Amino acid sequence: MKTSSITRVLAASALAAAALAPAQPASAADENRIFLPIGWACPDFNLEWSWTGTITHTKEFFDKNGNKVRLLQAGKGTVNTYTNYGTNPKKPVAGESITIRTDGSVTETVYNPDGTQTVTATGHNGLIMFPSDVPAGPSTIQYTGKIVYTVGTDGVFTLVSTSGPFIDVCAALAP
């Protein structure tokens, strides 16, 4: 999972997608770039997400038996760039981009006894929802405020609540 205004929210989803993504532009090999095929992050085009400038501090909390029960991450902001890479999965071509400067975030992950996680992210955070998530994606939203979601033992994200303004990245980059 990944970072401050990149938030672990967006990063967790993006890393999972990157591991499964078949085609990637040459620049996607850079560790600060994730390529998401059409239908994963946006319904109508391939999306690349890249970021610069993060510093994240992480603190883990354990119970008396040594089990991790909570993770707290805080960081200064990043500059996130989302790029529409068109609809051709074999020859993605960079098109329209939006760049969003963020001013940091705090993410708390609680490890529940049943193996699920409850995540509360405040500040500037991106969230990618896949078709298997609840509500079903694909969607990519950059929030300023608060996001609460759970992660099931099967990796499915369930959005519980959001507050504050947001940017619908897919709508902003739609052809």
In this predicted model, what pLDDT tens digit does every residue of 57-66 receive, in sequence order? 999 999 999 9
Total number of domains constituting the chain: 1
Q: What is the DSSP letter of 32?
A: T
Is 18 within 8 Å of 128 (Cβ atoms)?
A: no
159 CB neighbour count, 10 Å cutoff: 18
Q: Is residue 1 in a domain? A: no
Classify each residue of 72-84 as buried b or exposed e, where b means 16 or more C-beta atoms within 10 Å of its C-beta.
Answer: ebbbbbbebbbbb
Q: Is residue 2 in a domain? A: no
Rounded Cα–Cα distance for residues 165 and 144 (Å): 6
108-155: pLDDT as tens digits:
999 999 999 999 999 999 999 999 999 999 999 999 999 999 999 999
Read off the pTM.
Answer: 0.79
24-54: pLDDT as tens digits:
444 444 568 999 999 999 999 999 999 988 7
pLDDT band of 93, cuts 50, 70, 90: confident
Q: Is residue 121 in a domain? A: yes
- Residue 19 pLDDT > 50: no
Q: Is residue 35 in a domain? A: yes
Is 5 within 8 Å of 103 (Cβ atoms)?
A: yes
Q: Is residue 45 in a domain? A: yes
Q: Is residue 141 in a domain? A: yes
Q: What is the DSSP letter of 169?
A: H
pLDDT reported for residue 31: 66
Domain that holds residue 165: 7-173
